[in-house]
Every structure is written in C-alpha cells, then in structure tokens.
C-alpha cells in the first residue's frame, strides 16, 4: 500500500511539474534543441521518479553512447521502469516511438506529443509506416529514437519475438542500431503492478550495429543481430 501511494504521489508531482512545463513551452512555440526544455523535462521527470521510488540504475557500456551521433536504440521492455532508466541515463536528444494507446494518460499523453515523441498504431499498417517515416525524418534532424521491438511489455520478463518495423526505421535513417538491455526491472515492477519495489536496475549498452548500405531486405538480419546482442548482454529467453 505504501509503495503504491509513493508511486502515485511521485507521478502526480513530477509529471505535473515537468509535463506542464513542456505544454507551456509548446504553447509558446519554444523550439526543439539539444539540452532544451523538452530534453530536460523528460530526463528530470525520469530521474525524479527513480529517486522517489528508491530505484538506482547501474550502467554498463557507457562508452558506446555518443550524444552527438543519432541512433536507434533497441531495448527489451519488461517494465515501466525501463522508460525511466533510458531517459535518465542515455544522453542527447532521444524520442520514443510509443503505442498510441498511451495518449489517453492524463497530462503525460499531451506532453509526449508536445515534445515530439512519436505515437504508432501498429494495427493499421499504413499508420505504422507513416509513424516510422516521421521518426526517420526526426532522426535525420539529429535526434535519436528509442523503440521497443517486442511491441509491448513482456508478461514474464522474457524476451519476446521482435517486430521488423524498428529495423526498417534504422535502415531508412541510415543510423546505427544500439541494443539496450534493461535488466532487473521486471522483478521490481512487472506489467500491471502499481507498487514498484526499491532496488537496482542494470542498463547494459551494446556495441552499435552499423546500417550503412543496408536496404529493406536486410531488416530481418538486423533484427536477429540485435536480438543476439541483447541475449549476450543477459536478456532472458
């Protein structure tokens, strides 16, 4: 009960504070820039949530991160904590390709759209491709994208089959794929939980996989290579 209350209070306080600033920035047409309000709000929201819930993040492979070079980060997804860990620790301008159903979340949905995170409706193929086209254009402007190729949170903490769309995105933008493993998050806050436990999450960053010269036909190979890296980093299968 206490853990659930702490989570709800932290969400209201930090999302209220930072989400409202994002909406005000968008209202006054503040431009997107690296390190600006849209980047800072997401990062501080995530760090605030982690701090309030007494969750620490241990990063491995930080040398693979270059904030000056756009990339597509491919991560497993077992918990809401994954989002906070990635936002808190991966530098530069990063935007999530997220499930459109999240738009209903009070304040958060509006703030995500205002900050140019990209919703995707996977059930409609034409809409999904349009979302990836939007993400590719944004990457070419200098930002990075975070995609969960499993499509949704794992129900048991194990790595699920990958969808190919995220890899088409990386190929279209001709930027590296960087596999990211969020390890231990499922144990602290599994899908459906509103009572996150305190503890430590390991964020393991894999070696970037270049996509230069790849075309659409290489999407399956790229997905397999990314999955292999995540398993090597310790993903559960």
Task: Decide if 196 contacts 151 (C-beta within 8 A).
Answer: no
What is the rounded distance in angstroms from the CA atom of residue 118 to the CA atom of residue 91? 19
Answer yes or no: is pLDDT of 208 > 90. yes
Task: Decide if 64 contacts 26 (C-beta within 8 A).
Answer: no
Closest CA to 226 of 94, 98, 71: 71
For the chain, which residues make up each domain, given as ranges? 2-233
Task: Decide if 144 contacts 70 (C-beta within 8 A).
Answer: yes
Six token digits for residue 180:
């990211």
Confidence grade of residue 106 (pLDDT, cut at 50, 70, 90): confident
Q: Residues 141-164: what's their mean pLDDT? A: 94
**Residue 140: per-residue pLDDT:** 87
* CATH H superfamily, domain 2-233: Glycerol-3-phosphate (1)-acyltransferase (3.40.1130.10)
User: What share of the chain in percent tops pLDDT 70?
Assistant: 97
Q: Residues 31-41: what's their mean pLDDT? A: 95
Answer yes or no: is pLDDT of 60 > 90. yes
What is the rounded distance in angstroms from the CA atom of residue 237 to the CA atom of residue 135? 29
Q: Residues 1-21: what's their mean pLDDT? A: 95
- Give the model confidence (pLDDT) of 107-138 as tens digits: 899 999 999 998 887 666 667 777 888 888 88
What is the rounded distance in angstroms from the CA atom of residue 112 to the CA atom of residue 93? 14
**Residue 132: per-residue pLDDT:** 81
Closest CA to 132 of 178, 162, 174, 169: 169
Q: Residues 26-36: what's their mean pLDDT? A: 94
């Amino acid at each position: 009960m206490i853990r659930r209350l702490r989570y709800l209070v932290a969400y209201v306080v930090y999302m209220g504070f930072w989400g409202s600033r994002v909406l005000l920035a968008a209202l006054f047409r503040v431009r997107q820039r690296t390190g600006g309000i849209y980047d800072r709000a997401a990062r501080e929201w995530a760090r605030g949530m982690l701090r309030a819930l007494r969750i620490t993040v241990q990063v491995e492979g930080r040398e693979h991160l270059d904030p000056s070079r756009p990339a597509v980060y491919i991560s497993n997804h077992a918990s809401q904590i994954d989002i906070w860990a990635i936002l808190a620790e991966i530098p530069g301008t990063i935007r999530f390709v997220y499930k459109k159903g999240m738009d209903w979340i009070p304040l958060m949905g509006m703030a995500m759209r205002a900050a140019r995170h990209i919703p995707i409706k996977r059930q409609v193929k034409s809409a999904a491709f349009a979302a990836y086209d939007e993400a590719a254009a944004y990457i070419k402007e200098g930002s990075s994208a975070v995609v969960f190729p499993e499509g949704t949170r794992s129900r048991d903490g194990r790595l699920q089959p990958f969808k190919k769309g995220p890899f088409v995105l990386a190929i279209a933008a001709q930027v590296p794929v960087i596999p990211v493993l969020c390890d231990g998050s499922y144990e602290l806050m599994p899908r459906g939980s509103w009572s996150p436990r305190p503890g430590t999450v390991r964020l393991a960053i894999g070696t970037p996989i270049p996509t230069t010269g790849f075309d659409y036909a290489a999407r399956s190979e790229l997905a397999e290579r990314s999955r292999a890296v995540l398993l090597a980093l310790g993903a559960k299968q």
